Amino acid sequence: MKISSQTVRTDADQWRRLPSPGTDIIGNDKLNDKNGVVPHNLVEKTYARLNDIYAQNLIKNWAEEAEPAKHVFEDLAIAAFIIELWRSLYGTVPKSESSENSCPADFPGFVDMACGNGVLVYVLLMEGYSGLGFDARRRISWRTFPEPVQDRLVEKVFIPKPFIDVLEPEEIGVDAELGNYPKGTFLISNHADELTVWTPLIAALACPTSPLPFLAIPCCSHSLSGDKFRYPPSETGTQPLDQGDNSCQKKASIDQNPQPASGDLRALRLLKQKEKTEEGMFTSMYGSLTAKTMGIAQEVGYEVQRSKLQIPSTRDMGITGCQEGNLANEELQEKTMQIIRRECEDDGGIQAAARKWVERARNVHRGDEEGSTVH
């Protein structure tokens, strides 16, 4: 995509500056970050450095049809958060700060699930962290990166192992990523849509003896089958849903998209304002998805924290999960499978949900569903 230097300057001025921790991208009061795992000043410092190094060339060489500046600056901000998160978790530093100019040996590696345009993977690799990204479709932008980065971007459809296990080989029919990752691998699901709620489940099943750490940044709301789905609000915003026998009926009885009465603009404004509060955030579709992902992670046994990311997006919640180690290997696997079976009940069971997922995955891989993002 060729863009003028004036467009680059205009877009850059609009998106370059990070939103402050207490405001959204249009300057309104918003939820303060009480649960952040990384100090904002460290993220801002790293973001400024990444911006100086990568932003101009990424925008200049942009090959996708989507507006470049927002995506570039958003991914740079997410990369800054991740780098500082890894610094706090592992004591690792980017290669520019390392005397050996390489990633420390104790860094476990990362996998960016549904990596999309690949910018986040590119930046993290260039900063010296080992890892890879995969997506259901190869993106045009991948070929703009250096060859060593291109080698770490993989075109594969993700099919959760519990779905693979209940299907015959001929029912799958695509080259699939199964989520078999080495111990300690850090999983990233950045606006990964269908993979969001799956993220803690994938992380737990990949290594039951030591569930993998993860960062999930929710976006659009989907059930485990990949169908679009609005989760009911959680009373606390972080607790798992009631596991009683009537859980499916409870889901179905909740309006999937409640709105004020037609024409009531004042009520709509009040609703939007409420969604920006700590209490109201978890009544929105996005808040309910965030709470659902956190709740499932807690059920599996993760210590979960939520951070409001400083990115130019309203989808700005980061969920980090680290192992608490409360369950034995077999117990964790069974607990995780119980959750998956429960969550697939509305789709007719795990096998029916698996068939929905695979059918959609095939279509996306062929390019038949442009609006879907099964990865």
User: In a 10 Å sphere around its CB, with 0-12 CB exposed, 13-18 middle and 19+ buried, how is residue 371 labelled?
Assistant: exposed
- What span, in angstroms and rounded, lies between the C-alpha atoms of 166 and 186? 27
| Mean pLDDT for all residues in the chain | 80
Residue pointed to by tokens 């199964």: 178
Q: What is the pLDDT of residues 185-210, one digit of tens each?
A: 999 999 999 999 999 999 999 988 88
Q: What is the pLDDT of residues 111-121, one digit of tens each?
A: 999 999 999 99
Name the range with the highest mean pLDDT among 66-70, 186-190, 230-234, 267-271: 186-190
- With a CB cutoff of 8 Å and minimum separation 6, the contacts of 327 are 301, 335
Q: What is the pLDDT of residues 87-110, one digit of tens each?
A: 999 999 998 887 766 666 679 999
pLDDT band at 37 (very low <50, low <70, confident <90, very high): confident
pLDDT band at 273 (very low <50, low <70, confident <90, very high): low
pLDDT band at 173 (very low <50, low <70, confident <90, very high): confident
- What span, in angstroms and rounded, lies between the C-alpha atoms of 38 and 20? 14
CA–centroid distance for 274 within its chain: 24
Length of the chain as a residue count: 375
Q: What is the pLDDT of residues 135-171, one digit of tens each?
A: 988 999 999 999 999 999 999 989 999 999 998 888 8
Does 255 score more than 70 pLDDT? no
> Collapsing DSSP states into helix, strand and coil, what is residue 152?
coil
Name the residue among 36, 203, 174, 40 with its Cα closest to residue 111. 203
DSSP string across 181-231: --TTPEEEEES-GGGTTTHHHHHHHH-TTSPPPEEEE--S-B-TTS-B-PP
Entry pTM: 0.81
pLDDT at 264: 65
Q: What is the pLDDT of residues 316-341, one digit of tens each?
A: 899 999 986 566 678 889 999 999 99
- What span, in angstroms and rounded, lies between the C-alpha atoms of 186 and 214? 5
Does 274 score more than 80 pLDDT? no
Mean pLDDT of the region 290-316: 91
Lowest-confidence region among 150-154, 172-176, 223-227: 172-176
Q: What percent of the chain has pLDDT over 70?
A: 72
pLDDT at 4: 46
Name the residue among 114, 165, 152 with its Cα closest to residue 365. 114
Q: How far is CA 113 from CA 11, 296, 341, in A?
A: 28, 18, 23
> Collapsing DSSP states into helix, strand and coil, what is residue 306?
strand
Q: What is the pLDDT of residues 5-31, one digit of tens each?
A: 444 444 445 445 555 544 333 233 333
Beta strands in the chain (DSSP E): 110-113, 131-135, 153-155, 157-158, 176-177, 186-190, 214-217, 302-308, 317-323
pLDDT at 180: 85
- With a CB cutoff of 8 Å and minimum separation 6, the contacts of 238 are 291, 294, 295, 298, 304, 306
- What span, in angstroms and rounded, lies between the C-alpha atoms of 369 and 365? 9
